[in-house]
Amino acid sequence: MGKAPPAPESTLAQSFSEAFGYEASGVWSAPGRVNLIGEHTDYNAGLCLPIALPQRTYAAVRLRPDRHLRLRSLQSSQQYELELDDVCAGNPPGWGAYAAGVLWALETAGHQARGLDVMVDGRVPVGAGLSSSAALECAVAAAASDLLDLELLSDDRVRARLAAICVNAENTIAQAPTGGMDQSASLRCQDGHALLLDCRDGTVAQVPFDPSTQGLSLLVMDTRTEHTLVDGQYAQRRSSCQQAARQLGLPSLREVAFDDLNESLDRLPDNQIRARAKHVVTEIERVRQIVALLRAGRLPDVGPLFNASHASMRDDFEISCPELDLAVEVATAHGALGARMTGGGFGGSAIALVPADSTAAVTSAVIQAFADRGFGTPNCFAVTAGGPARRESKPDTPGPCSFQAGSGG
Ligand code: GLA
């Protein structure tokens, strides 16, 4: 599980200066997420329960006087230089879409934007289903909000508006038809809590989540198998759900009462659509049950609900893959209380709730099982619930002036 990476703010500010020839105005950061439960429920106006990860994306940023954008990343050789007025669906391509898209979306929402110089240090694993793209959007959005004096970070109500702006950037400019959970998690989660997000009206509740207090740990198992949301599978699931709701005469599958599930499913003629609807409705119910257990201090009891969620995604929603199934199966066989894939699916990561003293054993068993099956080595690491997008404190620069800022700084 390695050592924690060094605090990146000062090295990133330094890289910014080297690249652009002047100093950044500051460094902002935003976290990736894992979703504890409630998968593919966000675009069904349902419930989900993400936590923010300790892994974050950092952006050193300076506002420009013009409408020019220069985007660089420590992780990519792809650099961008473009005018804000040239940002549109599909342009720029690649990672730049998530950063530039945010400025476009701010203007679309009625805010006056300007050009930025941006240097990114993305520390959320890419393609792992841990929302590295939302972390990038939200880090840039946090910087833009501060530098343009938009005040879209000051409380949860305005953070919800900023999250919607980031979703528009992702849907329209990056052209990924995602549902909005990731950006809400990145902007609205709080340290030590899971975020109960009601996607029907955007309201949230903070649910305490600290497995260490019960001798447990939350293990992320990144299978390192291909995961992309821009391909057709995610959009297909989304459209099947809309079709199911339409056939039931409802605005969304959220409106199907769990107690009436069988009766509703009987009214859906197509087997596949019925299975998709069943996943969504049962998954929303599992969110409710897990939230009740967490609030009652009964974290160990969520295990079977994790397992049921995974089975539902494997069999009914059909978004798992052999690597995810193997990670879940081996983790539970070696002492995890429950495990499930997390995120969009078709690769990416699974999570397991494990007794803290079994974390190493579960990790080795999963790595060994992957080797035995000829799969690549998974990346397993324990996570805690982190905080939301924020401006980082000024870097402690070495040298005679590096005193801790006192009051008034
Ligand atoms: C991806 C999307 C989210 C959500 C999840 C599945 O992470 O970005 O909007 O739909 O998949 O729960």
Mutate to test the pocket of ligand 1, among 34, 98, 178, 230 (most ligand atoms within 8 A of CB): 178
**Closest residue by Cα to residue 70 from 114, 109, 110:** 114
- The pLDDT, as a whole number, for residue 402 is 31
> Distance, CA 139 to ligand 1 centroid (Å)?
19
- The pLDDT, as a whole number, for residue 394 is 57
Q: Which token pair is 177?
A: 């038809």
- The pLDDT, as a whole number, for residue 166 is 98
Q: Is 40 in the pocket of ligand 1 (CB under 6 A)?
A: yes
- The pLDDT, as a whole number, for residue 10 is 84
Give strand ranges (E) for 135-265.
Answer: 193-198, 204-208, 216-222
- The pLDDT, as a whole number, for residue 8 is 80
- The pLDDT, as a whole number, for residue 229 is 58
The CB-based long-range contact list for 105-110 (8 Å cut-off, 24+ gap) reads: 105/165, 105/166, 105/168, 105/169, 105/172, 105/173, 106/141, 106/144, 106/148, 106/150, 106/165, 108/165, 108/168, 108/172, 109/161, 109/164, 109/165, 109/168
- The pLDDT, as a whole number, for residue 343 is 97
Q: Using CB atoms within 10 A of its CB, is residue 311 exposed (0-12), middle (13-18) or buried (19+)? A: middle
- The pLDDT, as a whole number, for residue 27 is 97
Q: Which token pair is 326?
A: 């193997």
Residues in the chain: 409
> Distance, CA 183 to ligand 1 centroid (Å)?
10
pTM to 2 decimals?
A: 0.94
Neighbours of 67 (CB within 10 A): 17
Mutate to test the pocket of ligand 1, among 39, 42, 340 (most ligand atoms within 8 A of CB): 42
> Distance, CA 178 to ligand 1 centroid (Å)?
6
- The pLDDT, as a whole number, for residue 1 is 45
Q: Is 170 in the pocket of ligand 1 (CB under 6 A)?
A: no
Q: Which residues are catalytic?
A: 182
Ranges of the chain with pLDDT below 50? 1, 395-409
